[in-house]
């Protein structure tokens, strides 16, 4: 190759290098720079916070302490230093979203609540409390249709029967506040277990009471156990609802009503058959007691309330008046409800 050809090749290579350098420089200028320069920021003395109570204007001194994104030419002109990107991307490519694995039962809640994972003990506790509500309704509904038989055995008139049945409502009114104190000391699990089993065992007793005073005492005990169970199992329902973190209380009350329907239907079938009243209530007591023996182990353990020196205190006059009004109203509601509930079978028969 002659000298002219060599010279042309060398000149072309040099021109290509110069051209690529100029193109790169112009691209950097158009893009606003893709390097980071340290030591060229000039915010010193630019603060303007002076006012009536202070005079800090011009006292800031951050000059040369920051990092600025600019071109390399500008950084060199201002005698700065090129530094690495202070905020590098954590991932070169976006990470794909993958759903979390679903482990165990999950409760879907509204947008205002987070999704809650439910363990086996929580699900078991809900089933146990639901069963207690159902059995409570079924046991009561099994006893009420036999009131006419009690009236006939003791030869009671309508007035005397009403007074005797009032003992059941009185027992509930007396036992409910006492149940609240005992739940605070013993926990709702122990109280729910004791009152539920006690109610199941006591339900046949009024039917076999040999005298009217013993009948009234048996009804008082039955009402007391039912009232205490009402308070205890609702505390259990609140504890389960707190674990679910969504409203489920209405489902427990619905099962109480469903139990009442099932108990009343069973009593109606018994009355149309040759099975006696006592045999029916004894069978109801045995089935309810056996079922409770299996389900009470799943109830929630609630810690007793912290002990206080004075668990009871005398209220003020205003609170006494308000409490008296509430007590009278509650008593009227309970008497009307219980009276209508227990008198219906008598009138139907």
DSSP secondary structure, 46-103, as one string: ------SS---TT----TT-SEEEE-HHHHHHTT-EEE--SS--S-SSPPPP-PPPP-
**What pLDDT sits at residue 51?**
54
Task: Name the residue with tokens 């201002």.
Answer: 78
- Domain of residue 289 covers 122-304+316-348
Q: Is residue 168 part of a domain?
A: yes
Determine the pLDDT at residue 28: 43
* Residue 90, pLDDT score: 47
Q: What is the mean pLDDT of each run of 10 residues along the chain (349 residues)?
A: 50 47 42 69 65 60 72 81 69 49 45 59 92 95 90 87 89 92 91 95 92 93 95 94 91 95 91 86 94 92 64 72 79 61 55
Which residues face 106 on adjacent strands? 117
Residues whose CB falls within 8 Å of the CB of residue 126, separated by 6 or more in sequence, listed in order: 240, 244, 248
CA dihedral 142, 144, 148, 152 (to 10 degrees): 80
- Give the residue ranges of DSSP H helices in the chain: 3-31, 72-77, 120-143, 147-154, 158-186, 188-202, 205-208, 212-244, 249-271, 277-295, 317-348
Question: Does residue 127 sit within a domain?
Answer: yes
Tokens for 67? 């990092």
pLDDT at residue 116, rounded to an integer: 57
Three-class SS state of 171? helix
CA–CA gap between residue 168 and residue 176 (Å, rounded): 13
d(CA 84, CA 28): 17
Q: Is residue 310 part of a domain?
A: no
pLDDT the model gives residue 30: 45
With respect to residue 24, please indicate whether it lies within any of the assigned structural domains.
no
Domain harbouring 182, CATH code: 1.20.1250.20
| Spatial CA neighbour of 202 closest among 213, 182, 189, 217 | 217
Axis-axis angle for helices 147-154, 212-244 (nearest 10): 160
- Give domain status of residue 107, yes or no: no
Indicate whether 340 belongs to any domain.
yes
Q: Which phi and psi angles does 37 have, rounded to 5°?
A: -120, 135
174 occurs within a structural domain: yes
Domain tally, the chain: 1
Whether residue 226 contacts residue 139, with contact meaning beta carbons closer than 8 Å, is answered with: no
Q: How far apart are the first and last CA of the chain?
A: 130
Query: Is residue 82 in a domain?
Result: no
For residue 184, count other CB atoms closer than 10 A to its CB. Answer: 18
> pTM for the complete prediction?
0.60
pLDDT of residue 22: 42
Q: Taking the CB of residue 123, how many other CB atoms lie within 10 A of it?
A: 17
């Amino acid at each position: 190759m002659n000298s002219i050809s060599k010279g042309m090749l060398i000149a072309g290579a040099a021109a290509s290098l110069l051209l690529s350098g100029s193109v790169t420089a112009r691209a950097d200028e158009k893009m606003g720079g893709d390097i980071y320069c340290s030591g060229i920021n000039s915010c010193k003395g630019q603060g303007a916070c002076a006012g009536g109570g202070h005079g800090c204007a011009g006292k800031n001194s951050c000059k040369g302490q920051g990092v600025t994104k600019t071109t390399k030419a500008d950084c060199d002109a201002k005698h700065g230093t090129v530094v690495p990107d202070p905020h590098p991307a954590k991932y070169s490519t976006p990470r794909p979203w993958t759903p979390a694995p679903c482990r165990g039962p999950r409760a879907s809640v509204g947008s205002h609540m987070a999704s809650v994972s439910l363990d086996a003990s929580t699900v078991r506790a809900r089933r146990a409390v639901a069963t207690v509500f159902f059995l409570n309704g079924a046991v009561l509904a099994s006893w009420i249709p036999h009131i006419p038989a009690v009236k006939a055995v003791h030869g009671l008139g309508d007035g005397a029967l009403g007074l005797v049945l009032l003992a059941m409502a009185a027992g509930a009114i007396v036992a409910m506040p006492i149940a609240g104190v005992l739940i605070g000391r013993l926990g709702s699990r122990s109280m729910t277990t004791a009152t539920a089993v006690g109610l199941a065992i006591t339900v046949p007793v009024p039917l076999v009471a040999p005298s009217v005073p013993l009948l009234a005492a048996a009804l008082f005990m039955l009402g007391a156990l039912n009232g205490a169970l009402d308070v205890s199992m609702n505390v259990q329902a609140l504890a389960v609802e707190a674990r679910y973190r969504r409203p489920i209380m209405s489902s427990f009350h619905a099962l109480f009503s469903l139990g009442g329907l099932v108990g009343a239907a069973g009593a109606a079938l018994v009355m149309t058959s040759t099975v006696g009243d006592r045999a029916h209530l004894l069978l109801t007591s045995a089935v309810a007691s056996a079922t409770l023996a299996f389900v009470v182990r799943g109830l929630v353990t609630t810690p007793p309330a912290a002990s206080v020196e004075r668990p009871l205190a005398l209220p003020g006059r205003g609170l006494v008046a308000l409490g008296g009004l509430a007590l009278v109203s509650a008593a009227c509601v309970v008497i009307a409800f219980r009276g209508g509930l227990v008198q219906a079978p008598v009138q139907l028969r």
